[in-house]
Amino acid sequence: MMLEIPGFLTPEQAEQFRDALLRQEWHDGRNTAGHMAARAKNNRQLAADDPVAQQLSDFILGALGNNPLFLSSALPLKVVPPMFNRYEGGGTYGDHVDGAIRSVPGTPHRVRTDISCTLFLSEPDSYHGGELVVSDTYGRHAVKLKAGDMVLYPGTSLHHVTPVTRGVRLAAFFWVQSLVRDDTQRTMLFELDTAIQQLSADAPDNPAVLKLSGVYHNLLRQWSDT
C-alpha cells in the first residue's frame, strides 16, 4: 500500500525545519549507503549525531505517535529515528530497494524495514525534479508533495529520486517495522479500520460496529508478529 498523509507538519513547522536544516553541515550521502546503493546515490545527509538532526528527529517521532492515520496504516512496532537528506545541483538517487534491516545508531537495536517513509520539507515549486518514483505491481507512481506532507510505501518497492536541477529538496526519511509484516494484510486491516470508523461515526449504535471491531482485532491478533 502506498499512502499519502497530508499536513503531517504544519506549514509553519515545515518552514522552521527548513530554516534549521539549511544552517547545518551536510555530508556525502554515500557514506551511509551499502555497496550497491552507493553506486546510485548522489545526495547529502546530516550526520545521525548532529544535535539539530536529533532534535528534529525526536519531534517527528513524537508527532508520529499522535497521528491517527499513520498509526492505523503502519501499525508501528519499531521506528528507525528519522534522518534528513538534501538534493541539489543534479543530485539524484537511482533505482534501489531499501535494505531489509536497519540498525538504530548508538543502540544494539535492529529494525526490519517493512515500510519506507518520506516527509517532504521543501515546497514543490521551490525546486525542479526531485520526484520520488515508486514501482509496484500497479505501475510507477511519481510523488512530489507539499512541505509537511508524508508518503508511506512498502520497503520492498523499487524506487528512485529524479535529479534536482534547480533549487534544494529537503526531506526526512525513515523506516517502520510493523506489527503486521505482510503488506496485503496491513492494507486489509487499514481498510477495515477505516470502514469501522466511518460506520461508527454514521451509526454509532449499529451492532455491526462491535462485530466488525471484533473481526479487526482477531485478524490483528492472528497476523501480528508480536
- Going by the annotation, the residues of the binding site are 96, 98, 159, 169
Give the ranges where 80-125 is alpha helix by DSSP (H). Answer: none
C-alpha cell at 140: 510507477
User: Which residue numbers belong to the known binding site for Fe cation?
Assistant: 96, 98, 159
Query: For 140-208, what is the HEC assignment?
Result: EEEECCCCCCEEEEECCCEEEECCCCECCEEEEEEEEEECCCCHHHHHHHHHHHHHHHHHHHHCCCCHH
H or E element that contains 69: helix 68-74
For 17: left if phi > 0, alpha if psi spans -120 to 50, otherwise beta; the answer is: alpha
Give the amino acid at 105: P
- Which one, of 132, 124, 127, 122, lies nearest residue 96 by Cα? 132
Check: CB of residue 5 under 8 Å from CB of residue 150: yes
C-alpha cell at 149: 506532507
- Which one, of 95, 119, 121, lies nearest residue 176 by Cα? 119
Rounded-to-integer distance, Cα 75 and Cα 155, Å = 14
